[in-house]
Structure 1
Amino acid sequence: MDIIVDQLIEEFQLPLHNPVLIFSLILFIILLAPLVLHRIRIPGIIGLIVSGIIIGPAGLNILEKSLFVDVFSTIGLLYIMFIAGLELDLNEFKANRNKSLLFGFLTFAIPISIGFPVCYYVLGFDFNASLLTSSMFATHTLVTYPIVSKLGLSKNLAVAVTVGGTILTDTAVLVLLAVILGSHNGGLTFDFWLRLGISLVLFSAFMFLVIPRIAKWFFRKLESEKHSHYIFVLSVVFFSAFLAELAGLESIIGAFVAGLALNKLIPHSSALMNRIGFIGNSLFIPFFLISVGMIVDVSVILSGPMALIIAGTLTFVAIFGKWMAAWITQIIFKFSKGQRKLIFGLSSAHAAATLAVILVGYKAGILDANILNGTVILILVTCVIASFATESAAKMIIRNVDDEESLHLSYRAHKENILIPIANLVNIDKVLDFAVLIKEKKSTNPLSILTVVPNTSEAEKTIIKAKEGLENYINEATASDTNATIMATIDFNAASGIARTAKEIMADIILLGWPQKTGFLDKLIGDKMESILQNTEKTLFICDFEIPLVNHKKLILIIPPNAEFEEGFAIWLHKIAKLSIELSVPIDLHSTEPTHDAILKFAKDNKVTLNLNYAHFNDWDQFMKLTEHIGDTDIVILVSSRRGYISHFSQLDRIPQRLERSFPSMSKMIIYPQ
């Protein structure tokens, strides 16, 4: 026993040296840091860098910089730059190339023009350090692009211009990096410029003329060997990085160019792209972000005012430079205030390319620890500011769009598809009754009743048993002239099975039963309902009917501000209006005036008769007062919103639990619009 204890003590001596234990620790951090920080709305990239600071030599000294860490860190750095080149939309760039080129020039030149004098004269850096640091201000990473995509503005001209400008500014910064390193190592002689010019020409010719032809041949010859495709792509990335070093460039330039060279051969929605993103985002890139945190020395930041002054100055200059570029772009192209704010939000986040440039400069001895630490703080601040700015700008643009057709039903009624996942048979009859009432009679698709069974050796028997249990309810649905079908799928996780099936059958609406009570661990790592919300974008009804539907006397409809701007507004409103008509019950509406006006416009445009009683409501801190006059035969219908969407605000996330605690035996429904 003593031997085992002594061995454990030896293995856990700090810093850790056992590669298996080190790898296990890194994986646990990659797993848990984003999950925990997601709960408090902190971007995962920040959590991983902070984790690296904590476990690094300057933190708790759990890990030290080693060859093992350096190898994975280098792979992650190259992977980031490769994906940056691969994900750029070259077609979008071509369509708006003149505007993108001008914005790319502005967002490159303005931050450098502001940053260089500040670094050289104010902060007292030498010439190379000033130029390299100011070039870092010119980079940007499209960290907030998913926000724009989620809100349906990815086709907006301001977005296209910003995305296109990313190609120019990041490429220019990487070429400038090569020049600065050349100057640092031997001076900008004629031989240097000649070698750099020839190297760039030969390297570009090989990457853009030879590599795509080899890749096409390889993908065609080994079409069925899907795993080989990924290995081939990975080989190209690292070989390109090696060739870039031979050419006197940085390896990150080679990885970035490899992404551009393979861009057209790897569609963004392909299985290969999914594998590239999955493995990179799951392992290599998080490893790199943790290693960046390990380099940070907190004691340097806390050692005196100079470190904080440098960090504050770098952050201010980075934000101001990007704002100026966005403002001048707005003036030149006559963009709206919302579009200017959107350009700033998309282009102000510093992450991947910034880390790459600063890390290379730090390792080359051009930059010191103060600049590295200040850059990490800059990344933390700009990612947060960019997130808020992008979301605010996107909502501003949506509000200002005057689209007269926006309140018409946007999907074809004869193709409507409703998915009903069943976890247990409790109250399934009431959920099916609700589905039958709201289903479009013109739709040729049956109601799809889904059961997800665990992937075990008993899976087939479980499917048969589940189907047999649902047969009686199918008969009841058929009796009402509504077709229904039973579906079964095997998955380790019920939520992923539901999300996958919803995509496979292209469901318009998903009906779910009320979630069961969850424990602390479920709340920490995300329960089934939250997982479904994150992985599906369709209209979601979460239902809890305590009495038969026909016994209800009133619908209490509570809607948040800006709900009329959500894409699925017309869909769920049409279903609630249909339910009101089918049950012959009135709707008591609680919302703001603009939402009320939008509902009346919807009714007029779609020739829907609404039995509506309206009361103004916008005090969500006093939400529970609305429920004081609700009877046992009423249905409370709360229209909520997914996080990040235009009508979402923090109180909405807490109301379902408050409803459950206060009215466990009352009929209620929560709607998450498409």
Structure 2
Amino acid sequence: MPMDLPVTDPVLVFALAMLIILVAPVVFTRLRIPGLVGLIVAGAIVGPTGIGLLERNETFELLGTVGLLYLMFVAGLSIDLNQFAKLRTRSLVFGLTSFVIPQTLALLLGTQLLGFDLPQALLLGSIVGSHTLLAYPIASRLGITKNNAVIMTMGGTMVADVLSLLILAIVVALIEGASGPGFWLRFTLLMLLYAAGVVFLLPRLGRWFFRTVRNQADVEFVFLVAVVFLVAYLASWANLAPIIGAFLAGLVMNRLVPENSPLMTRVRFVGNALFIPFFLISVGMLVDLRVLVSSLTLWERALLFTGLVLGGKLAAAMLVRQVYGYTAVEGWVTYGLSTPQAAATLAVTLIGFELGLFDGTTVNAVIVMILLTSLVGPSVVDRFGRKLAVQETTRPYEPTQAPQRILVPLANPEHVEALIDIALIVHDPKSEQPIYPLVVVRDEEESGAPVAAAEQILSRAIVHAAAADVPVQPLTRIDLNVA
């Protein structure tokens, strides 16, 4: 039976979408291209201007919006505030430099060369000023994540993304059509009131909820999702884009959801497996393949945007390298980490398209720029990260660099989950060392039952730690004295 295109049957639409989510990242990862780029390309191929298999209807728009807000929430939730605190001043300086230089270049070239008005040029600067740590897994694999330049870059990412979203808020206010001191005073007061309310109330609500509801993973997850979408909706009351509220919710809840906790694992799993891929596919559906192969203007803009990113980020990395005395290799690693564009870039671009500030040509050019920077950044980190890894091995030994081994003595079954949670908070997410839960049994004539009870306690510890995707090495010891 011939199939009518586009597909409208909801079951088949969902099945095709899940098949794309399954296949596209695998194929592109084998080509050494980030999986998120694969989902965008797949969305363009199956979309209205591709083979027309799927259409960007209300369902895809809804799921795309959900995925966008969830992406920004996870971005805020995943920021390592402890790493940021280690080199706070350097992170602030690098984040500001890495954002201001591309923003200034975009403002000048956008208005003078592309004929953009002020809101369009500001939003273009917001796009090229942010960056995403797509190349961080490479740095982690090479063992250079504890290098000061890498830590500074990680902290600077948060600063650049916050500034990018702040510019977005200003642009949204500009296109409202109002102006004058009264409007800007009202806008500033509403923004500060909204931010203060979220920062003050949300952590208290979260702490109360997590104290009240213990060991109910599904309820905890639903609470987080409900909170992020409510905070995102309330952002519109302060004339802010919902993605700003979602990002702020992630930052505020950051301390309450530890990096290695089972809850964080579930948050990332649902986002990476469902919500965020739908957003990326919906973005790909905005790409007009006919324009992509026929428009010279599109490629001119794509190369210009890419040049803004590569040139601006290189200038920032080398300037900060000179200020803080980093080596040339560290400067290039910083550049490679700060070059790729993804999360905030896609979010701001989509908002700009929905507001009518960007046309389809500009959106397509931004997506090409994302692809190019996603190739350049990881390649630079891989090349110079290897040299930095060799340099790191020649440095004097520091006790803080020793392998992390965490021993968790267990006795009372009621305290197993709480003690493992503490170990998960302390456990370094980059460490390959397992957590060692230990139960000591007295050496008595009838020790069979106590040993069986100890195995039950250890099994609970293993299950709880496994939910956080952390390796566990259970230990049972029989001794005359527990001490």
User: What band does the TM-score fall into relative to the shorter chain?
Assistant: 0.7 to 0.9
Q: Which has the higher strand share?
A: 1
* Deviation readout 1:399-447 (Å, 9 max, x if unpaired): 22314669xxx889xx9xxxxxxxxxxxxxxxxxxxxxxxxxxxxxxxx
Q: In the alignment, residue 471 of structure 2 is paired with which amino acid?
A: K
**Are 1:334 and 2:302 an aligned pair?**
no
- Alpha-carbon contact 1:300-1:370 (below 8 Å) kept: yes
- Output the TM-score relative to the length of structure 2: 0.81
CA RMSD of aligned residues (A): 2.1
Q: Supply the distance in 2 between the matched residues of 1:20 and 1:35 (Cα, whole angstroms).
A: 23
> 1:359 pairs with 350, 360, 364, which one?
350
SS class of match (1:350):
coil
Q: In 2, are the aligned partners of 1:184 and 1:366 still within 8 Å (CA)?
A: no
Poorly superposed stretches of 4+, deviation over 4 Å: none
Alignment partner of 2:12 out of 12, 21, 26: 21
Q: Give the match for residue 173 of structure 1.
A: 164
Match of 1:76 in 2: 67
Provide the rounded CA distance (Å) in 2 between the counterparts of 1:21 and 1:270: 35
For the residues of structure 2 that align with 1:209 and 1:300, how far apart are their CA atoms? 48
Counterpart CA distance in 2 for 1:371 and 1:118 is 14
2:234 corresponds to which letter in structure 1? L
Match of 2:113 in 1: 122
1:39-188 matched pairs, under 5 angstroms: 39-188=30-179
For the 8 Å contact 2:33–2:374, the answer to whether it is kept is no
- Cα distance in 2 between the residues matched to 1:156 and 1:192: 45
Q: Which residue of 1 aligns with 2:184?
A: 193
Matched, 1:221 2:212: yes
Structure 2's unaligned 5+ residue stretches are 408-458, 460-465, 476-483
Q: Judging by fraction of residues, say which structure has more helix.
A: 2
Which letter maps to 1:39?
A: R
Answer yes or no: is 1:504 the counterpart of 2:472.
Answer: yes
CA contact (8 A) 1:153 1:394 kept: yes
In structure 1, give the amino acid aligned to 2:54.
L
Aligned to 1:260: 251
CA distance in 2, matches of 1:342, 1:506: 39
Alpha-carbon distance in 1 for matches of 2:77, 2:256: 10
How far, CA to CA, are the matches of 1:243 and 1:188 in structure 2? 23
SS at match of 2:239: coil
Deviation of the 1:207 alpha carbon: 1.1
Q: Shift in Å at residue 125 of structure 1?
A: 2.1
Aligned-residue offset at 1:115: 1.6
Alignment partner of 1:503: what SS? coil
User: Which structure ranks higher in relative contact order (CA pairs < 8 Å, sequence separation ≥ 6)?
Assistant: 2
Question: How many Å separate the matches in 1 of 2:134 and 2:126?
Answer: 19
1:506, CA displacement in angstroms?
8.1
> How many residue pairs were aligned?
410
Q: Which has the larger radius of gyration?
A: 1
Between the aligned partners of 1:250 and 1:191, the Cα distance in structure 2 is 21
Contact between 1:182 and 1:192, CA under 8 Å: does it hold in 2? no
Name the residue aligned to 1:293: 284
Cα gap change, 1:194 to 1:404, in 2 (>3 Å): closer
Match of 1:33 among 24, 41, 54: 24
Give the letter aligned to residue 329 of structure 1: V
Aligned mates of 2:474, 2:40 — CA distance in 1: 38
Change (3 A) 1:411 1:294: closer
Q: Which residue of 2 aligns with 1:305?
A: 296
Task: Calculate the TM-score normalised by the size of structure 1.
Answer: 0.59
C-alpha separation in 1, matches of 2:172 and 2:291: 25
Residue identity matched to 1:255: A
* Contact 2:91/2:152, CA 8 A, preserved across alignment: yes
Q: 2:143·2:389 contact (CA, 8 Å) conserved in 1?
A: no
Cα deviation, residue 299, structure 1: 1.7
- Once residues 322 and 21 of structure 1 are traced to their aligned partners in structure 2, the CA distance between those partners, rounded to angstroms, is 43
The residue aligned with 1:395 is 386
Deviation string, structure 1 residues 183-211 (Cα, Å, up to 9, x no partner): 11213333331222121222112211101
Which runs of no fewer than 5 residues in structure 1 stay unpaired?
416-488, 490-496, 508-674
State which drifts further: 183-192 or 44-53: 183-192
Q: How has the CA–CA distance of structure 1 residues 213 and 293 changed in structure 2, closer, same or farther, with 3 Å as cutoff?
A: same
Deviation at 1:319, TM superposition (A): 1.0
CA 1:141 to 1:188, structure 2 compared with 1: closer, same or farther past 3 Å? farther
Q: Which residue of 2 aligns with 1:212?
A: 203
